[in-house]
Structures are given as C-alpha cells and as structure tokens.
Amino acid sequence: MLLQQLSGNLTQGLILGAIYGMATMGLNLIFGVMKIVNVGHGAFIMLGTFVSFAIFTYLGLTPIVAIPLAFIVGFALGSLFFYFIIGKLTNAPELNSLLATFAIGMLIEEVTKFIFGSEWRGFTWDVGRVTLPFTVLPITKIYAFIISILVVIALYLWLRMTRSGTALRAVVEDKEGARVCGINVDRMYALSFSIGIGLTVMSGVILTFFISVGLNPYMGGAYTLRAFVIAVLGGLGSPLGAFFGGVIFGLVENGSYTLLSLIPGIEPFSLTRFVTFFILLIILLVRPTGLLGVK
C-alpha cells in the first residue's frame, strides 16, 4: 500500500520535477551569462499561467497554442526590461540588480492584478487519462512532461550547434576572451536575458498542464524559492544542470512528503518544504558549485 503510494507520488514527482527543471533553465541562463539573479523569476512563471488561462478561457483555444505565444511575450518583455533597466546595471553592485529584478517582478504582479484581479482562478482542460498500475495520470500531465523534455533538447541543440549558442557559451566561459574574439558581449547579454525570460514565461504555460487551478498574481513567490533551490542543486549558471536539478527536486519533494505523512503530530506539507531548504543549505556548504555543476 505504502509502496504503491510512494511509486505513484514519485511518478508525479518525476513529471513535476521535469517542469520545475524546465522552469529554472531561464534563471540559470541569465545567471550564467550576466551573473544576475532574477529575484522576480516567479512573477514570470505566473505570467505564463495567465497567458494559458486567457487563451483557454477567453479565446477557447487549446493551451498548446499558448506555448509559443508565451515565449514571444516573454522574449519581448525580456528585451524591453533589458534595454531600459537591466542593461544599465551590468556593472553595478549586486544590491542594485537584485532589487531591480525584484521590482520588475513586482511590476509584473501588479499589472496582472490590475488586469485580472487578485482572486484565485483556474480552468479544467480535460483530454482523458491513462491508468497505470499504481496511479492515474491525466494526459495533460504527460503532455507537460514530453514538452518539457523537448524544450530542454531544443535549448541544448541551440547552445551546442548554432553560432549564437556557441558565442553565448563563450561569454559564459570568459567575457573578456569572447570580446577579444569579436563577440558582441552586450548583444549576448540582451539575447540571454530575453531568451531566459521567454523560457520562464513559457514554463508557466506548461505548469498549467500539471496544475491548472490556484492561479493568482502572487503565486510566483513559492516558485522563485523552489527555482533557487533547483538552480543551486544543478549548479547556478548551467541551464542543463537546472533540468536535472529540477527532476531531483521533484522526486525529493514528493517522496519526502509521502514519508513525512507517516509521522504523527507534525504538518507534513510544511516539513517537506523545510527538508528542501535544509538540503539547499547542505549543498551550498558542501558543493557551492552545485551537485551536478562542473566548474
């Protein structure tokens, strides 16, 4: 019985982990290139969930349409914020960029609240379900899993195979060296920030394939914190590390929840979160470059 519950939860955890990982890649891409931590990360995930919500509820289209649309919205917003704010802070102390990204997140939240209101929202997109021996999976969750992996592969191919991807990796490795080789570093900053935000907004759409209720302008905070843990797990600055970090995180989160539920007299949901932050601190102490990070 317990084993069945555990394997059911771990399957859910694997799918959720893939989404988490995909949702953290944008954060890591931006940090890898610009050394800026996007504290407003969760707000962009939230924005993606609202794009999905609007496409499904107001236009009556399948949320799959929202995926490319969300990327375009995110890319445009990323470029806008880069040219007016972030691009001017690349040499400023950390304090400034951390506060700037926080304020950007706040702006996104408040604009969303202004348009959609602050009540909880949700929708039901049902395309059937698959019954496994230990759990029942809605097909939308399987979509989410497959799309997440496709996005990861696409990002990997872009970074490895294309000219701009190679240039980007050169900037991550050695900014000055890249400049000497004739790479326009500022353009690479702009590109990484825009793609990073685009990926993040897109991940919000994919998140609604897993959970399509509980959408709220302020839902992003919890995802920001999770993304930080995942980013450190996979090695800050490594987009692909983030994906595997996300998978591990999803498995740990769901697995420990099942096990902690067995202990009487505690609140398993909160304690699960304690466990994840405890793991974060241990990893930061033992291997600050991340569990999977390569220096």
88 Cβ contact list (under 8 Å, min separation 6) = none
- 110 or 139: CB nearest other proteins: 110
The rounded distance, in Å, linking the Cα atoms of 1 and 225 is 33
Binding span for other proteins by CB under 8 A among 3-11, 31-39, 141-149, 188-196:
31-39
Question: In the bound complex, what is the minimum distance in angstroms from residue 177's beta carbon to other proteins?
Answer: 21
What is the token pair recorded at 85?
Answer: 């704010």
- 62 or 120: CB nearest other proteins: 120
- 120 or 274: CB nearest other proteins: 274
CB 231 within 8 A of CB 242: yes
Q: How many residues in the chain?
A: 295
**Contact positions with other proteins (CB under 8 A) in 206-235:** 221, 225, 228-229, 231-232
**Contact positions with other proteins (CB under 8 A) in 99-158:** 99-100, 102-104, 106-107, 109-111, 113-114
- 100 or 147: CB nearest other proteins: 100
Residue in this structure with the two tokens 């900037």, named with its chain if needed:
171
The 65-84 contact track toward other proteins, x by CB under 8 A, reads -------------------x
Question: In the bound complex, what is the minimum distance in angstroms from residue 212's beta carbon to other proteins?
Answer: 26
Question: In the bound complex, what is the minimum distance in angstroms from residue 31's beta carbon to other proteins?
Answer: 7
Question: In the bound complex, what is the minimum distance in angstroms from residue 218's beta carbon to other proteins?
Answer: 11
Question: In the bound complex, what is the minimum distance in angstroms from residue 187's beta carbon to other proteins?
Answer: 20
Size of the site for other proteins (CB under 8 A): 49
End-to-end CA distance of the chain: 43
- 98 or 185: CB nearest other proteins: 98
Question: In the bound complex, what is the minimum distance in angstroms from residue 84's beta carbon to other proteins?
Answer: 8
The 249-288 contact track toward other proteins, x by CB under 8 A, reads ----------------xxxxxxxxxx--xx-xx--xx--x
Question: In the bound complex, what is the minimum distance in angstroms from residue 260's beta carbon to other proteins?
Answer: 8
Sole binder of other proteins in the list 6, 76, 80, 85 (CB under 8 A): 85
Please provide the DSSP assignment of the chain as one string.
-HHHHHHHHHHHHHHHHHHHHHHHHHHHHHHHHH----TTHHHHHHHHHHHHHHHHHTS---GGGHHHHHHHHHHHHHHHHHHHTGGGGTTS-HHHHHHHHHHHHHHHHHHHHHHH-SS-EE------EEE-SS-EEEHHHHHHHHHHHHHHHHHHHHHHHSHHHHHHHHHHH-HHHHHHTT--HHHHHHHHHHHHHHHHHHHHHHHHHH--EEE-TTTHHHHHHHHHHHHHHH-TT-HHHHHHHHHHHHHHHHHHHHHHTTSTTS-HHHHHHHHHHHHHHHHHHH-TT-SS---
**Contact positions with other proteins (CB under 8 A) in 154-193:** none
- 89 or 199: CB nearest other proteins: 89
The rounded distance, in Å, linking the Cα atoms of 53 and 55 is 6
Residues at the contact surface with other proteins, assessed by CB under 8 A: 31, 35, 37, 84-85, 88-89, 92-96, 98-100, 102-104, 106-107, 109-111, 113-114, 221, 225, 228-229, 231-232, 236, 265-274, 277-278, 280-281, 284-285, 288
